[in-house]
Amino acid sequence: MNHPDWNDFDLATIAVRAGQRRTDEGEHSEALFCTSSFVFKSAAEAAARFQNQLPGNVYSRFTNPTVHMFEDRLAALEGGECCVATSSGMAAIMATCVALLDAGDHIVAATGMFGSTTQLFKKYLTRMGNPVDFARIDDIDDWRSKITPQTRMLFLETPTNPLTQLADISALAELAYSHNALLVVDNCFCTPVLQRPLELGAHLVIHSATKFIDGQGRCVGGAVVGDKKTVGEDIFAYLRTAGPTMSPFNAWVFLKGLETLEIRMKRHCESAANIAMRLQLEPAVKRVYFPGLAEHPQHELCKRQQSDFGAVVSFEVEGGKEAAWRVIDSTELLSITANLGDVKSTITHPASTTHGRISAEERSAAGITDSLLRVAVGLESPDDIFADIKRGLGE
């Protein structure tokens, strides 16, 4: 079968079809190659494969056919030339930094990122000789002011979690280009269904496949998408040497996840918008954070940059921590956990969990108040999700 040019197809089609390579068995679904190594027909073939003179598999830390199918499918979805899969989202970020930065190269990263990402930059990359400064995600002048002659990378995720602030990807891409730096976007919250950062000028896209790509909370994995040289040569070379590669079983689960990504994201977004609107009408709710609401300060940017508004709804209740905890403790359906991107809706109190280890001053500077709750909206009926939240609201 010829491989079509996926640019000619809609996203839902790419998500189901791109990347599949069938074996001679004629399997309809993607095959799972659970094997650590591969055998050769002769000594000469072994030698040629090891020396990269012949294409083909050698060892699953380097390449694996199931992982390869996942990589090709995700690359097509993001509109990138090349993708490499990693053992986790964090491994994707680490591999990107270690493969591309020299000691002394400076990073400007967004405030309000995933906690482990911030920690990775602050604690480990700084120690390895890559100083990092943080810029307010929605303030291009702040980004500009943090850039030094040593800056090689701008790093962000958008929208932020839990407050749903957006970065203007096109504006930041221009800024990065003009300073000869790379713009790296963690696209975990939007997935290519809602946002395609490479089309907006980003150099690289990072994924935690653990979230919406799996979509059912089963496996941990990650990926980097971008151009052939940066991803297919530089980051791939690091991965095959250092080893944080994706397991074939996880790649197979993620392939199945991608097949339903478009339809799931639509439903996640529809339900989130429904719940945000209803929360706004509740007298016990002080403020709702959701980019789909006209009052959201970046509502217009969100409409330009994303095809839908996402699945995270945060809100402040009247009455502080006690009132917020009462909402959580009154739920019968929602899972009390900080995970997201799952069919199961989750509820969390950021100030005492995900943001519990930073100081009270840092928290209030970041806008994480004691009365804030975050719901990652899953695929249960929105009526049931809302009723579960409402039970603990007010008296």
- Interface residue list for ligand PLP (CB under 6 A): 88-90, 114, 116-117, 157, 186, 188-189, 208, 210-211, 220, 222
CB of 362 to ligand PLP, least distance (A): 19
Min CB(310)–ligand PLP separation in Å = 12
**In which element (H, E) is residue 336 found?**
strand 335-336
- Closer residue to ligand PLP, CB minimum distance, 101 or 190: 190
What residue number has its CB nearest to ligand PLP? 89
Nearer to ligand PLP, 66 or 86 (CB): 86
Distance CA 281, CA 301 (A): 24
Alpha-carbon distance of 64 to 55, in angstroms, equals 12
- Looking at the Cβ atoms of 91 and 285, the one nearer to ligand PLP is 91
Q: Which of 258, 256, 157, 259 is nearest to 213 (CA)?
A: 258
Cα Rg, the chain, nearest whole Å:
22
Alpha carbons 270 and 273: distance in angstroms, whole number: 5
**Residue (of 281, 254, 253) closest to 77 by Cα position:** 254
Q: How far is the CB of 58 from ligand PLP (least distance, A)?
A: 26
Nearest to 340 by CA among 231, 197, 256, 215: 215
Q: Residue 383 CB, nearest distance to ligand PLP (Å)?
A: 27
Is the Cβ of residue 224 or residue 276 nearer to ligand PLP in the bound state? 224
Q: Output the smallest distance, CB 120 to ligand PLP, in A.
A: 9
Distances (CA, A) of 60 to 57, 64, 290: 8, 5, 42
Q: Quote the least distance from Cβ 213 to ligand PLP, whole Å.
A: 10
The smaller minimum CB distance to ligand PLP, of residues 20 and 118, is found at 118
Using an 8 Å Cβ cutoff, are 268 and 311 in contact? yes
How far apart are the C-alpha atoms of 197 and 171, rounded to whole Å? 12
Which residue, 116 or 364, is less far from ligand PLP as judged by CB? 116
Contacts of 167 by beta carbon, 8 Å cutoff, 6+ apart: 110, 137, 138, 156, 158, 185
State the Cα–Cα distance between residues 235 and 224, nearest whole angstrom.
8
CB-nearer residue toward ligand PLP: 290 or 386: 290
Whole-number minimum distance, CB 67 to ligand PLP, in Å? 15
Region of 164 (left: φ > 0; alpha: ψ -120 to 50; beta: rest) is left
